[in-house]
Amino acid sequence: MTFIKDFINVLSAASISFVLLSSVFAFIVYFNLFDGKLKSKIGGGFIGFGALLIVAGLFIKPLLYLGITYFLIMFVLAHLGGRLWDHKTGLWMLILGGGFFALSMLDGNFYLIAAKPDNVPIAAMIFLLGFFTWVALRKAYLNDRQMLAGGIPWEKTESDEKLFTWPDLVYTEMLCMIILTIVMIIWSVALRAPLEEAANPTSSPNPAKAPWYFLGLQEMLVYFDPWLAGVVLPTLIIVGLMAIPYIDTNPRGNGYYSFRERKWELGIFLYGFLVLWSFLIITGTFLRGPNWNFFGPYEYWDPNKLVPLVNVDLSEIIWVKMLGMPLPKLWVIREMFGIIFVLGYLGLPPLLAIGPFRRFYQKMGPPRYYVGTFLFLFMMSLPIKMVLRWLFNLKYIVHIQEIFFNV
Amino acid sequence: MANLRKLQEEIVNSQIWKSIFRVGIPNTNRKRVLAVLGSLILHLHPVKVRRSGVRMSYTWCMGGTSFFLFLVETVTGLLLMFYYRPTIEYAYPDIMDLREQAPFGIMREMHRWGAHAMVIAVWLHMFRVFMTGSYKPPREFNWNVGVVLLVLTLLLSFTGYLLPWDQLAIWAITVGSNMARATPGAGNEGPMSGLIKLGDVRLIHAGDDARFALIGGRSIGPSTLLRFYVLHCMAIPLAAGFLMAIHFWRVRKDGGISGPM
Ligand code: HEM
């Protein structure tokens, strides 16, 4: 029992769970949604990466745990193939997930966090997200298979038929309202809304957390300064969402579930929504304790936990550690490498437009292409910064304290 | 059974009923059409709908759930307003009273859980709309109305979070609003803000930056409470209600719930 708990505690550290989640996501997209076929090159990539983890795991324990879990999940997914979308598999996943949650509730530390009244809806959200993701992908998979065989998506078989709003639609709505009302009443009777001591501006709780739907942003503060995590990136999320219909010119897949016809759109959106946004919220809610330190799900939130501060800036890594020189005084020179890195990153779209992305560039036209790729680059800056932090303890790529400009 | 039928007919054919609903039992197609057209609320719907669009498995009923939860929030919120005064002397004791004194007091519970549920429902609704490609032409604009609704939903929840005026409330809002300090060019700790100067005097400081505008002071205080109260109970619900009207109107004008061409 303690071993399993320890195993899961280690696994849930952001660096480990993020790699696991990303790989599982990629595997499902490449394998299970494509009827169990994988190009040998990509399949080899998955196996090679797993092998790398195991080898590295011989020296670093958490990576061994990661490698083992990685292969275990890939094995099950590969074995299931298209059957991942069967009702039976779905039911099993629900039972296993629910069982895991129920068993975990027996653990005192887990219970303390998961049963906090304000956290209950988020636990429910995890299940709902999982359930609806599965439902949507299952429908997409079934439609794709039908269309491959020369058929039509199931929505098409019904979309020309019209029903009277009364009774067909009105009754469904009525039923939904009744069920919702009952759920809301039971929930409200069973669980009291939290109320802590009266506000006291002089004594701040530890940890002080934003409302749960903003915890993804608060979690981003670990990797970015507030001006990026709290202002620029949220703004770009909203702008990006609004831009979606104008960037995406693919006319197919309008009004029915499908994956094959919209691989790129779905891949990017699901990655942003599930692997980044939801993952950060869940981490920020359940796994961040006092001083915003990381705590595994079965760990006690010890306010005295000490975590060494070992993060360093890129300028220090290059000037001091690699070149053995003191940091230059002038920030333009000191931050030279970081600035080149960032400009190079932002210069990718025009380069890619003449290179590998030429097809997209020609199909989309310059405005759509540039808006789309820049938004995508900003989204990907988060996982890139996360991985750099985990690999090199990198704090800032560019650190210009003089004008509060830190990236 | 026969008696029940008779009673039903009696009621439906009475003058009172007919004065309200006009049509009797909608048991013919003509009456079904009239039932929808004759009602302000039902005529949000078209008379006929695609079979695929009615299916729960297609829409997950999440747009409707979001709207229903918005109504729940409106009703329960209104009841809470009877008890609650937005000043730092009264806010916390009023909530306390509500909790300890009000008989069958589950309105606060329902309001809070409804708010959480609404955020989740709106996300799932957006997720469904994306997965069915329903933002594609001709529905691009309605997707945008939706994104604004999503932001308003989050703001509603955020402003409401402060009102109980307990430790949970002020520290959550403190953490949330501290980010505004870092707005580039407009927050006193934001990049480039230091460059905005008149001679030697910084124009952007803690007394006039983006955070100050948001919370009405240098720290969370009475004016924040009042500000959030007004936003929470008046400004944002009105804006959201207005946008929902546009949203629903556009669902119809764009050809009803999406389906394959
Ligand atoms: C308070 C929030 C919202 C409410 C009350 C609401 C309500 C609704 C309702 C009742 C429908 C009818 C179909 C259905 O139930 O799925 C609908 C459709 C739609 N909604 Fe929303 N919505 C909200 C937020 C959003 C958001 C956040 C988005 C997207 C970002 C969005 C985009 C759309 C689109 C594009 C349609 C048309 C879908 C179709 O024709 O299949 N809505 N909305």
Residue A329 and residue A249 in one domain: no
Q: Which helix (H) or strand (E) holds B188?
A: none
d(CA A226, CA B179): 6
Residue A284 and residue A322 in one domain: no
The answer to whether residues A332 and A317 touch, using CB atoms and an 8 Å cutoff, is no
Classify residue A313: in a domain, yes or no.
yes
- Give the model confidence (pLDDT) of B84-128 as tens digits: 999 999 999 999 998 888 877 789 999 999 999 999 999 999 999
Alpha carbons within 13 A on the beta-carbon side of A58: 4
Domains of chain B: 1-48 (no CATH), 49-253 (1.20.810.10)
Residue A58 and residue A106 in one domain: no
Residue A339 and residue A403 in one domain: yes
Q: Inspect the interface and report whether the beta carbons of B49 and A231 lie closer than 8 Å.
A: no
Residue A101 and residue A212 in one domain: yes
Residue ranges lining ligand 1, Cβ < 6 Å: B 59, 62-64, 66-67, 70, 122, 125-126, 129, 134-135, 139, 142-143, 146-147, 149-150, 153, 244, 247, 251, 257-258
Residue bearing the CA closest to ligand 1, atom 23: B146
Q: Look at residues A40, A65, A85 and tell me which one is the last residue of a structural domain.
A: A85
Question: Chain B: residue nearest A246 by CA?
Answer: B140
**Interval between CA A57 and ligand 1 midpoint (Å):** 47
Whole-number Cα distances in Å, A103 to A106, A122, A125: 6, 18, 19
Size of interface A-B (CB pairs under 8 A): 275
Residue A287 and residue A317 in one domain: no
Contacting residues for B76 by C-beta, under 8 A, at least 6 apart: B107, B108, B110, B111, B114
Classify residue A255: in a domain, yes or no.
yes
Q: Inspect the interface and report whether the beta carbons of A258 and B133 lie closer than 8 Å.
A: yes
Helix (H, G, I), strand (E, B) or coil at A394: strand
Residue A215 and residue A282 in one domain: yes
| Full pLDDT tens readout for chain A, 407 residues | 889 999 999 999 999 999 999 999 999 998 999 888 888 888 899 999 999 999 999 999 899 999 999 999 999 999 999 999 999 999 999 999 999 999 999 999 999 999 999 999 999 999 999 999 999 999 999 999 999 999 999 999 888 888 998 888 999 999 999 999 999 999 999 999 999 999 998 999 989 999 999 999 999 999 999 999 999 999 999 999 999 999 999 999 999 999 999 999 999 999 999 999 999 999 999 999 999 999 999 999 998 888 888 888 999 899 988 888 888 888 888 998 999 999 999 999 999 998 888 988 998 999 999 999 999 999 999 999 999 999 999 999 999 877 778 88
Classify residue A193: in a domain, yes or no.
no
Residue A8 and residue A130 in one domain: no
Classify residue A177: in a domain, yes or no.
no
Ligand 1 atom having least distance to the Cα of B153 = 1
Residue A232 and residue A373 in one domain: no
Classify residue A133: in a domain, yes or no.
yes
- Give the model confidence (pLDDT) of B208-232 as tens digits: 889 999 999 888 999 999 999 999 9
Interface test with A, best of B42, B100, B119, B136 (most A CBs within 10 A): B136
Contacting residues for A253 by C-beta, under 8 A, at least 6 apart: A261, A262, A265, B133, B136
Residue A216 and residue A120 in one domain: yes
Residue A114 and residue A135 in one domain: yes
CA terminus-to-terminus distance, chain B: 46
Q: Look at residues A85, A113, A141 and tell me which one is the last residue of a structural domain.
A: A85
The answer to whether residues A317 and A311 touch, using CB atoms and an 8 Å cutoff, is no
Residue span of the structural domain in which A214 resides = 94-154+208-305
Residue A297 and residue A221 in one domain: yes
Count of domains in chain A? 3
Classify residue A399: in a domain, yes or no.
yes
